[in-house]
Amino acid sequence: MSTASYPQGWPGGSGIGTVVGMRGWWQDLTDLVLPAECGGCGRPRTVLCPECRAALNGAAPSRVRPVPEPPGLPVVHAAARYADEVRAALLAHKERGALALAAPLGTALAGAVRAGLREAPGHAAAGGEVPVLLVPVPSARGAVRARGHDPARRIALVAAGELRRTGTAARVLAVLRQRRAVADQSGLNSRQRLDNLAGALAVAPGGDRLLRGGSVVLVDDLMTTGASLAEAARAVRTATAAAEEETGAYERRAQEAVAYRHFSELDSYAEATTAVYTAAAREGTEERMAGSAEEGTGRMHSVPGMAGAGGAGDVMCAAVVAAPPDSFEINRN
């Protein structure tokens, strides 16, 4: 094909410049399908080479705990240590738009979610039948605009698909929102990060009802000080507690309305008085019977994170792709 045959307006102008421009355009398109280099080590023409994939998924996910541990931080599991190839891959996905890395990173996150669920009493007691709700920690709006995507949400979607593929009912609930601007976290210590994020997140309207439908797992690509996960946990707990209080108030009002209609239909005050004493006696008998049964069989406690239980919507655990190496050393004196 001669250079004269290229249409006007194609990259590079005309002549030799057009050919060069076409080559650059084709290279950009090729990189979208076949990445230029491994996200971990830079090996050409692979998303993630076998060695870097082993660094990401080779070890079993572990419980991690930052020091100092922020108040309200749920139990966190991480798939890998944030160092070397894993660090490079996470940065390539988050900051350089290497979107193809979402697949291996999401698979690693799914492993950390499974590890957390195995140790979560509520989910284990239900035999894994309760749906898993992955709630990603949102990035700042400005960061999402600059990067062109939300890394945690993208990885969470892949993780949910991987969990479903292996038989776990899972879906992503991106219900957390930033209610105010926060400063850039880089360069801040753990105390400063806590202050920076305090009260910054909230559950979107209506999200509290969705959170009551399964076992909640907060997810992110990286945990450093744990401040982001602790703030996300606070926002979820606040929203679900308010929803439960509202539900209880509604039920009390409904019961009062039924009682009012019942007594207003009675023919006389004497009938109403008799009905009250009869009901009270019956309730007392039922309470004594129930108490005896509980003493014989043991009391049933609500299971956090299970739909329909008293603690429905409680944050059960959290999972991340990576965490600092020293946070894996949880058995400290």
Tell me the sheet residues that pair with 177: 202
Q: Answer yes or no: are the C-beta atoms of 108 and 269 closer than 8 Å.
A: no
**What confidence score (pLDDT) does residue 184 get?**
65
DSSP class per residue in 85-131: HHHHHHHHHHHS--GGGHHHHHHHHHHHHHHHHHH-HHHHHTTT-SP
**What confidence score (pLDDT) does residue 199 get?**
61
**What confidence score (pLDDT) does residue 130 get?**
85
Instruction: Walk along the chain (333 residues) and give the pLDDT tens digit of each residue.
Output: 444 444 444 444 445 444 445 554 554 455 555 557 899 999 998 999 999 999 999 999 999 999 999 999 999 999 999 999 999 999 999 999 899 999 999 999 999 999 999 988 766 555 667 899 999 999 877 778 888 889 999 999 999 999 999 999 999 999 999 876 666 666 666 776 666 566 679 899 999 989 988 899 999 999 999 999 999 999 999 998 876 665 555 555 666 555 545 445 545 444 544 444 454 455 454 444 444 433 333 332 333 333 333 344 456 899 999 999 999 987 554
**What confidence score (pLDDT) does residue 139 get?**
85
DSSP element (H, E) containing 148: none
Cβ neighbours for 125, distance < 8 A, ≥ 6 positions apart: 303, 306
- Phi/psi for 58 (5° steps) reads -70, -35
Domain residue extents for the chain: 61-183+190-266+304-333
Cβ neighbours for 57, distance < 8 A, ≥ 6 positions apart: 79, 80, 104, 107, 108, 111
Largest CA distance in the chain: 106
Burial class (CB within 10 angstroms; exposed 0-12, middle 13-18, buried 19+) of 75: middle
> How far is CA 183 from each of CA 86, 93, 147, 221, 249, rounded to the nearest angstrom?
26, 22, 17, 19, 38
Say what the pTM is: 0.69
